[in-house]
Amino acid sequence: MSCFSCPTSSPQQPGSPTSHLPEADHDEINKSLRPIQVSAANIPTAVRVYSTIQSLIQRERINTPDLLVITELKPHVGTQLWQKFEQLESPALRKSFDPNTGHFTIKMPTPLHNCALIWFQDARDKWIEAGLLTTAEKRMMKAQVADTITLTRGVYANCRKEPDVHVNVHGLNLPTLCFEIGYSESKPLLESDMRRLLIGGQGDITAVILIKWYKRRAGVAGTIELWRLDNNGNPLKEQDEAIFPVPSSPQPPIKVTRKMLFGNALLPGRPPLDIFSFSLDDLRIEARIAMAKQSLFPL
């Protein structure tokens, strides 16, 4: 769920073994995944926008992608549309609205989106078993989906966002760690999500993990990236790994620190630089289970 135009510079793109993966090819199977998109420039009310969205979903039901994008939406109409979705639609939907660009996006999550939550929970259980987390820290930290984040500072002030997964810590207004997952959502739009969260969070959101799935005739490919802010407040890609196809050489896990997990709520005396790892093999296990539910299989 993303803004199509962003007021900040493009994120850094260091070379990596996974950067060559194509965003799209000419397979018909990929064409069916392109997001549904509609302009609201000539639709004056939230009721009519909502009706248009419902009609589009019904028409595209056979090959419905998981992302719907409304462009050129007036700020007050976007606010009313958000309220309408809150009242009438499933809380499983994940919404995003940027009044600066007029883009309102609706993600309809699949098992491939949702397996990231299970992956985080499994990693947390291992941290507890290893003695990395105390009972107090465990109680402080909750992973959630579909909760609304309202950014209040900087160029992304007044943006609303529901990350695919976000880690909330008691006492903090914003999550510390967010996960954004793309299936029909393109890599540039995922990166837009990341910029908005990191820059709009102004350091309170310490890191964003991007997972991008690529559907191909032969199966599903996938990549994962860890982003954080550098010392100048710009997004920095810290890790970039392949999920599928599985690389032949060993890979490091995705790593965050205790400070990244707990942010400004870090308990006194707890080592801020302790490493917390997310196993890519564990992610592959959950992804395979999720793919089977969608009649998919990995490359």
pLDDT (average), residues 157-161:
86
Domain boundaries defined on the chain: 28-293
Choose among 38, 44, 54: nearest CA to 76.
44
Q: Can you tell me the distance from the alpha carbon of 243 to that of 249, in angstroms, rounded to the nearest whole number? A: 12
pLDDT higher than 90, residue 185: no
* 132 or 51: which leads in pLDDT: 132
What pLDDT is attached to residue 89?
A: 63
pLDDT higher than 70, residue 102: yes
* Contact between residue 185 and residue 168 where contact means Cβ atoms under 8 Å apart: no
Q: Which residues contact 19 (CB under 8 A, 6 or more apart)?
A: 13, 240
Q: What is the pLDDT of residues 19-65, one digit of tens each?
A: 444 444 434 345 455 667 778 777 878 878 877 777 766 665 445 55
pLDDT higher than 90, residue 105: no
pLDDT higher than 80, residue 95: no
What pLDDT is attached to residue 67?
A: 77
pLDDT higher than 90, residue 236: yes
* 186 or 166: which leads in pLDDT: 166
Residue spans of alpha helices (H) in the chain:
28-31, 46-59, 75-88, 111-129, 135-140, 187-201, 258-262, 280-293
| Of 44-58, 155-169, 186-200, minimum mean pLDDT range | 44-58
Q: Which CATH number fits domain 28-293: 3.40.50.300, 3.90.1570.10, 3.90.190.20, 3.20.20.140?
A: 3.90.1570.10
Q: Say what angle helices 111-129 and 280-293 make with each other, to 10 degrees.
A: 150
Q: Tell me the percentage of the chain whose pLDDT exceeds 70.
A: 83
What pLDDT is attached to residue 1?
A: 34
What pLDDT is attached to residue 130?
A: 95
What pLDDT is attached to residue 65?
A: 59
What pLDDT is attached to residue 13?
A: 39
Structure tokens at 108: 């309809």
Mean model confidence pLDDT for the chain: 82
pLDDT (average), residues 141-161:
85
* 90 or 220: which leads in pLDDT: 220
Q: What is the pLDDT of residues 256-293, one digit of tens each?
A: 999 999 999 999 999 999 999 999 999 999 999 999 99
Q: Which residues contact 160 (CB under 8 A, 6 or more apart)?
A: 82, 95, 96, 97, 148, 149, 150, 151
What pLDDT is attached to residue 115?
A: 93
Q: Can you tell me the distance from the alpha carbon of 276 to that of 146, in angstroms, rounded to the nearest whole number? A: 24
* 20 or 3: which leads in pLDDT: 20
What pLDDT is attached to residue 24?
A: 43
What pLDDT is attached to residue 29?
A: 42
Q: Tell me the percentage of the chain whose pLDDT exceeds 90.
A: 47
pLDDT higher than 50, residue 5: no
